[in-house]
Amino acid sequence: MGIEDILMHDETVFKNLNAFDPDYVPPNYNFRDTQMEAMALSIRPAMSGAQPSNAVVLGSPATGKTTAVKKIFELVEKNTEKVVCVYINCQIHTTRFGILSQINKKIFGYVPPDTGVPFSRVYDKIMSHLQKEGKSLVLALDDVNFLFQSNFANKFFYDILRAYEEYPGVKTSIFAILSELEFRYEFDKNVKSVFIPHDIVFPLYSLSEIESILKDRANAGFYRGVIDDDILEQIAVYTFDYGDLRTGINILKTCGNFAEADASRKITQKHFDKTIESLAPINISQILESLSDKEMTLLRLIVDYGGNVSSGDLSKDFKKTTEASYSTFLRIIKKLEFLKLIDAEYTGSGSVGNSRNITLRFDPDKFQL
């Protein structure tokens, strides 16, 4: 298609392009019940006027931390007016005044002018309001590590968490959200005595969880029939092996774009391959390091055959060496093929015509196997 055709083409595979946006909040949010419960338990006391707890929300990128906090805040606000939930992205709001302004906006509906109004005046207005109305404040500081790049983090935690000293009866708590697990923060002792958080950990998603989430997202974003399960499965495996959930969502969207550029109503293998090619090239040693012992064993057997062997011979050797089942063998072949470490062409021979010729796709002498 020409450029103008691309721009004007009004047929689309996308039912809802926003479903692939970074800030899209999915209606279906699974596999995070434990973490959502822990957050609910932290906030629950505030619903009846007691002190909410503090929490540190921890986990690798794209494990659903931001989404979970936004969802729980939405639920809290739907059910009570007693708790003011404020979500702050610390990459965007980087000063004490900036964060306080966002709290002001949430409560009073506007951002105070950033010149001429002192911090203390805005602070007093917020805390007096909470005190008078008997409301609690739960403040989520997302990507809180950004706050620690400046030197006001301690001061700010102190401002929020010790508000009750000046405004008796005011209840405040902080959810500190972090994606770098190696990040270490050091509070001074005044803050430590009031910020005693419990950890809410977001583990990595498993392959089947990734596949299910991506399937939901594809259903939300594409028209029915645009993407088949086998392509979705390949996207899930790729995502699990090399990236995080965001990579997977991005691949879905890019596949859709390639399909549209082809005026195709369906995402085909070609669109998926093109998408993967368009991603940053992956280093073979990195892939090799990520393989399990059995996967490495199978790869070494192929190398022992000089990089070219029939699937029948290979499966027998593999069974002898590892005692693994034939289905394990097939699964590993599929994975190595997908990782582009081998080719596995059908030869049409064998008792049921399913024999394959396995060839290595890289030079084994250049890598440590």
- Which of the ranges 29-37, 43-51, 192-200, 255-263 carries the binding residues for ligand ATP, by CB under 6 A? 29-37
> In the window 184-223, what residues touch ligand ATP (CB under 6 A)?
202, 213
C-alpha to C-alpha distance for 221 and 235, rounded to whole angstroms: 15
> In the window 230-259, what residues touch ligand ATP (CB under 6 A)?
245-246, 249
* Shortest separation between residue 189's beta carbon and Mg ion, angstroms: 29
User: Which of 147/259 has CB closer to Mg ion?
Assistant: 147
Work out whether 18 is an interface residue with ligand ATP (CB under 6 A).
Answer: no
* Shortest separation between residue 69's beta carbon and ligand ATP, angstroms: 8
User: Which of 66/154 has CB closer to Mg ion?
Assistant: 66
Q: Which does 32 bind (CB under 5 to 8 A by kind): Mg ion, ligand ATP, none?
A: ligand ATP
Work out whether 309 is an interface residue with ligand ATP (CB under 6 A).
Answer: no
> In the window 37-66, what residues touch Mg ion (CB under 5 A)?
66
User: Which of 66/315 has CB closer to Mg ion?
Assistant: 66
- Which of the ranges 56-64, 230-238, 282-290, 329-337 carries the binding residues for ligand ATP, by CB under 6 A? 56-64
Work out whether 26 is an interface residue with ligand ATP (CB under 6 A).
Answer: yes
- Which of the ranges 55-63, 75-83, 285-293, 330-338 carries the binding residues for ligand ATP, by CB under 6 A? 55-63
Q: What are the tokens at 249?
A: 């969502």
Among 32, 71, 96, 215, binds ligand ATP (CB under 6 A): 32
Under rule CB under 5 A, how many of the chain's residues touch Mg ion?
Answer: 1
* Shortest separation between residue 335's beta carbon and ligand ATP, angstroms: 24
* Shortest separation between residue 216's beta carbon and Mg ion, angstroms: 19
Q: Which residues here bind Mg ion, judged by CB under 5 A?
A: 66
Residues lying near ligand ATP in the complex (CB under 6 A): 24, 26, 29-32, 59, 61-67, 179, 202, 213, 245-246, 249
